[in-house]
């Protein structure tokens, strides 16, 4: 783990990368890293996230600045711009049930090829996918998802990169950190190793590549 400035961390992101980003609406979203993606004008990104937040907040800003070519997400209802770009075919949107999406990412991070879920059976979600029957119940085979980069927001990190999340800001964050080649974490503070004990580490620092301290809110 290395502590770096946002500018340096985001310089490792390339145009066209698939990027997993934490957050539910705006909660648990690495805003400083998103600022930097916009500043460095990273383009043609495939963004994998729970929802596209709002036009002027969180992940929604990446959509507003047209940095994405594709979004894999469960909900775009709070962001009119995502819906507009989708309807006008400026942006590819793959809508995935929330529980399926997180489990596909989890599978990607834990060495599984995919998952079998009953969610979506008998709906448009099953179209084009393999259906597998086990003990007379139908399941959809949903393939694992991995990303090139994970942009994670944690409450704090110690100097070894061990992470703690807070309340509902945890959401996708620890899961995406398992499923990407490059893990960049934005934290509110960095504390000495040992400040929080083994039982209170939510994600081991060994999985973290770079830590960036969140810029103060304007």
Partner 1 sequence: MNLKERIAKRVAKEFKPGNIVNLGIGLPTLVANYVPKEMNIFFHGENGVLGIGSEVSEEYANLNLTNAGGRFINTLPGAMTFDTAFSFALIRGGHLDYTVLGGLQVDEEGHLANWMVPGKLIPGMGGAMDLVTGAKKVIIAMTHTTKGKPKIVKKCNLPLTSSRRVDLIVTEYAVIEPTDEGLVLKEIAPDIKIDELKTITEAELIIPEDLKIMEL
- Do residues 102 and 176 touch, judged by C-beta distance below 8 A? no
Q: Is 162 one of the binding residues for partner 1 (CB under 8 A)? A: no
Locus of tokens 């398992």: 178
Q: Is 87 one of the binding residues for partner 1 (CB under 8 A)? A: yes
Distance CA 90, CA 216 (A): 33
- 61, 86, 91, 161: which one binds partner 1 (CB under 8 A): 86
Cβ-based nearer residue to partner 1, 51 or 158? 51
Region from 37-45, 59-67, 80-88, 144-152 binding partner 1, contact rule CB under 8 A? 80-88
- Do residues 35 and 212 touch, judged by C-beta distance below 8 A? no
* Least distance between partner 1 and beta carbon 40 (Å): 27
Cβ-based nearer residue to partner 1, 28 or 147? 28
- 17, 31, 36, 51: which one binds partner 1 (CB under 8 A): 51
Phi-psi map region of 107: left, alpha, beta (phi>0 left; psi -120 to 50 alpha): alpha
- Interface residues with partner 1 (CB under 8 A) are 24-28, 50-51, 73-78, 83, 86-87, 95, 97-100, 102-103, 106, 117-125, 155, 165-175
């Amino acid at each position: 783990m290395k502590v770096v400035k946002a500018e340096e961390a985001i310089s490792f992101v390339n145009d066209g990368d698939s990027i997993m980003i934490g957050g539910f609406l705006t909660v648990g979203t690495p805003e400083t890293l998103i600022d930097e993606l916009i500043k460095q004008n990273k383009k043609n990104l495939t963004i994998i996230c729970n929802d596209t937040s709002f036009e002027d907040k969180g992940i929604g800003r990446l959509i507003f600045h047209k940095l994405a070519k594709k979004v894999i997400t469960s909900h775009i209802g709070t962001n009119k711009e995502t819906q507009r770009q989708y309807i006008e075919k400026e942006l590819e949107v793959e809508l995935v049930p929330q529980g399926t999406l997180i489990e596909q990412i989890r599978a990607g991070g834990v060495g599984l090829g995919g998952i079998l879920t009953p969610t979506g059976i008998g709906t448009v979600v099953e179209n084009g996918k393999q259906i597998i029957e086990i003990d007379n119940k139908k399941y959809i085979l949903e393939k694992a998802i991995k990303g090139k980069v994970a942009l994670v927001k944690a409450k704090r990190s110690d100097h070894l990169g061990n992470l703690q999340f807070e309340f509902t800001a945890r959401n996708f964050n620890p899961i995406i950190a398992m499923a990407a080649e490059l893990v960049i974490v934005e934290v509110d503070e960095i504390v000495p190793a040992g400040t929080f004990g083994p039982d209170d580490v939510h994600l081991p620092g060994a999985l973290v590549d770079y830590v960036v301290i969140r810029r103060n809110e304007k």
